[in-house]
Structure 1
Amino acid sequence: MKTWIEISKKNILHNIKALKSLLKSPPDPLSQRGRKPLFMAVLKSNAYGHGLREMNTICIQSKLVDWCGVDSFDEAMFLRKQKNRMPILVLGYVPFDRIGECIKNNVSIVAYNNELLKYLEKDSGKYNANFKNKKLKIHIKVETGTSRQGIANEELINFVKKANKNKNIFIEGIYTHYANIEDTTDPSYAMEQLKKFHKNIKSIESLGIHIPIKHSACSAAIINYPETHFDMVRAGISLYGHWSSHEAEAIAKQKNVNLTLKPALTWKTRIAQIKNLSAKTPVSYGLTERVKRNSRIGIIPIGYWDGYDRGLSSIGETLVSGKRAKVLGRVCMNMTIIDITDTPPKVKLFDEVILLGNEITAEELAKKIDTINYEVMTRINPLIKRVIV
């Protein structure tokens, strides 16, 4: 293989166990469970770049995961075809013409549009006949301050009333998402969102409607704010061994949270050619960089098509035989040039190069290209083979 990604099963299992150790019993007073919250592994966006197939295998075999969260119905069906029998929640948009398949395959979906209720009501006879009175399981999204998906207050109450009367619907869950719980050391906005979530739940329960699964906690909330745990938590980036931000990690240290996360992804390639260049020789497109000394360079067969960001041109670093090797010139579509002058003399053709992993962290790459670790990992081309190690 010219490039591949290794996923550490050991580190994923460590992260799951470490996160679950933070879940307390009993959870929030509004919880209906009376025991520790359920654990959702968020596998959306090709499992944050780690490989949906591979992460599904690890989660099933671990017997530590209660739910899986995905972005699309197609991702949910992929998991079902991979023999995943866990409850699955689609957190993103689901076209109405896939609703029947959701019911058939026991896939839960997020709900917030009255049009969904009208659609199901209009075709109620068809659904009852085709699915033997099986119901669509929904998790209602409460808007508390992210200005994204969701509804709240009177609109929410009316929606819940209608959904509760609809014979084709089972209100399985209700949840919200925090806008500013991970990028700040000030949790005040998130706590206001939590208050709004509590208020909306209490308004619903005052109608005599009890929703089994309430959830709000993302990775940062799982780690730092146990009051957000409710009946289920949704582990995203922390599942893969990364902190959602430096601020989230700082708060955990302030609170003496006993947690170590272990990154699970290592992205590798090989040296496809080795050359010797004289000082001042230009490298790659645009002549944007010239070597400052007589240099030994390696051409590696990956580029921005593979997800190695073009912003790393002339500033990225790789690992070759444990030594850092700088990116020279522009990252190309399918190739990148690295400086192997200072690597051990034994480095030879076809030796491995680490693009991401070990001391080359997603956080380091994100800082260099002015983005976040999430983007660095999720933008790795999904066609690249992932291997569980």
Structure 2
Amino acid sequence: MENKNTWVEINKAALSHNLKQFRKIIGPQVRLLIPVKANAYGHGLVEVAKIVLPNGADWLGVNSLEEAEFLCSNKIFKPILILGYVKLTELKRLKFFKNIRLAVYNEATVKKLGQLKSKVKIHLKLETGATRQGVALKEILVFVKLIKKYKNIELEGIYTHFANVEDTKNHHFAFSQLKKFNQAVELLEKNGIKIPLKHAACSAAAILYKKTHFNLVRPGISVYGLWSSYETKVAAGKKHKSIKLELVLSWKSIIAQIKNVKQGSAVGYGRTEKVSRDSRIAVIPVGYWDGFDRGLSSVGNVLIKGKRTKVIGRICMNMFMVDVTDIKNVKTEDEVVLIGRQGREEITADEIAEKLKTINYEVVTRINPLIKRKII
């Protein structure tokens, strides 16, 4: 059920450029896993996968078995790591896919995998401070010994995830997490257990600290040209003066109708906003169903003919209205930019996130996956 009145453009050259930036930072020997979970952070699961793999990515990371299977159904056979949870009753489906790996962090999953007749590769998640998934350091040796009881389970990797390396200038806690991770690896190796792949680095860690690279990194948001935080951007500029990320995603629509309204007329549901003069109002066929947040009511902006114009009234489910009184020669089906550049003006996910008091991750990942992603 594609809505042809709105579309997302994915800039292939920008995405390839960002990959090269990370490859330059990590070097040729470290594997590059690109997270494409959450519809590739809103950029398009398959579309992004088919760009990054020929341009230097070695692995893909997803949240669910369904995402992994969908990639495989689109003839993607490079290694795929499922970072999220897979129900015990669904684990048997792994036997059909030799390129899918599973993150593991509880005994029930290990025991269920051990009942499968097929071989399965897993990555052990270590809890070091994010207080999410993961096995505690004090439990790691017992947990790995349980894994080793099952001959069909190959412990291919061990990893962790930083709690706040990106949104602070003080990285002491991240360093404490890294210390726990190194302690776990050392403990296992002292007991004769060597795990081939070790990974911890997200975008911020990969950019800022080489000691987090190990032999695989998982840069997410910044591959898509977005900085994980202002603090990371500033620190990165000092450490890698040549690093430059390019925005990958633009979101566009068209004008569905233009109407003249009298001064004092209320616009939209709840009659929350009235025009202060005789005005021209354009109706844009995009709404909160599409991912254009209702919180942008009366405060959001779009670009039309290279000029900024403001959202008038409440965002509706499938449409919203903007004031085009001061824009000349506007007509039905003119292009509207919700995110991206038009002429000399630009609206970014960061700008929208600031208005919504959220993060750029949420702005792009909430763009409805049914909207067409076009590669440009």
Same-fold call, TM cutoff 0.5: yes
Residue number among 360, 364, 368 corresponding to 1:377 in the alignment: 364
Aligned to 1:317: 301
Aligned to 1:189: 173
Letter in 1 for 2:216: M
Secondary structure at the residue paired with 2:72?
Answer: helix
Pair 1:94-2:86 in alignment = yes
Aligned to 2:58: 66
Which deviations, in whole Å up to 9, do the C-alpha atoms of 1:235-268 show, x marking residues without a partner?
2111111000111111112324421111111111
Q: Within 5 Å, give how 1:186-265 maps onto structure 2.
A: 186-265=170-249
Pair 1:355-2:354 in alignment = no
Aligned to 1:32: none
Secondary structure at the residue paired with 2:326?
Answer: coil
Residue number among 14, 17, 29 corresponding to 2:17 in the alignment: 14
Percent identical: 50
Residue number among 67, 74, 97 corresponding to 1:105 in the alignment: 97
The root-mean-square deviation of aligned C-alpha atoms, in Å, is: 1.2
Q: Which runs of 5+ in 2 are unaligned?
A: none
Question: Is the 2:113–2:120 Cα contact (8 Å) retained in structure 1?
Answer: no
Aligned to 2:163: 179
Q: Give the drift of 1:98.
A: 2.5
Question: Is the 1:223–1:257 Cα contact (8 Å) retained in structure 2?
Answer: no
For residues 228 and 88 of structure 2, the distance between their equivalents in structure 1, rounded to whole angstroms, comes to 33
For residues 243 and 259 of structure 2, the distance between their equivalents in structure 1, rounded to whole angstroms, comes to 45
For residues 16 and 45 of structure 2, the distance between their equivalents in structure 1, rounded to whole angstroms, comes to 16
For residues 42 and 183 of structure 1, the distance between their equivalents in structure 2, rounded to whole angstroms, comes to 19
Q: Give the drift of 1:136.
A: 1.1
Q: Give the drift of 1:226.
A: 1.3
Question: Is the 2:19–2:52 Cα contact (8 Å) retained in structure 1?
Answer: no
For these two proteins, the number of residue pairs brought into alignment is: 368
Moved over 4 A (4+): none
Question: Is the 1:99–1:136 Cα contact (8 Å) retained in structure 2?
Answer: no
For residues 173 and 326 of structure 2, the distance between their equivalents in structure 1, rounded to whole angstroms, comes to 49
Which deviations, in whole Å up to 9, do the C-alpha atoms of 1:72-97 show, x marking residues without a partner?
00000000011111000000001122
Q: Within 5 Å, give how 1:335-350 maps onto structure 2.
A: 335-343=319-327, 345-350=328-333
Pair 1:36-2:38 in alignment = no
Secondary structure at the residue paired with 2:128?
Answer: coil
Residue number among 251, 265, 274 corresponding to 1:267 in the alignment: 251
For residues 205 and 100 of structure 1, the distance between their equivalents in structure 2, rounded to whole angstroms, comes to 31
Question: Is the 2:33–2:57 Cα contact (8 Å) retained in structure 1?
Answer: yes
Q: Give the drift of 1:117.
A: 2.4
Q: Give the drift of 1:118.
A: 2.2
Structure 2-normalised TM-score?
A: 0.96
Question: Is the 1:287–1:329 Cα contact (8 Å) retained in structure 2?
Answer: yes
Question: Is the 2:104–2:110 Cα contact (8 Å) retained in structure 1?
Answer: no
Pair 1:115-2:108 in alignment = yes
Pair 1:367-2:350 in alignment = no
Residue number among 275, 280, 284 corresponding to 2:264 in the alignment: 280
For residues 326 and 169 of structure 2, the distance between their equivalents in structure 1, rounded to whole angstroms, comes to 41
Q: Give the drift of 1:152.
A: 2.1
Letter in 2 for 1:271: I
Aligned to 1:31: none
Which deviations, in whole Å up to 9, do the C-alpha atoms of 1:270-318 show, x marking residues without a partner?
0000011222211111111111122111000011011000000000000
Q: Within 5 Å, give how 1:280-319 maps onto structure 2.
A: 280-319=264-303
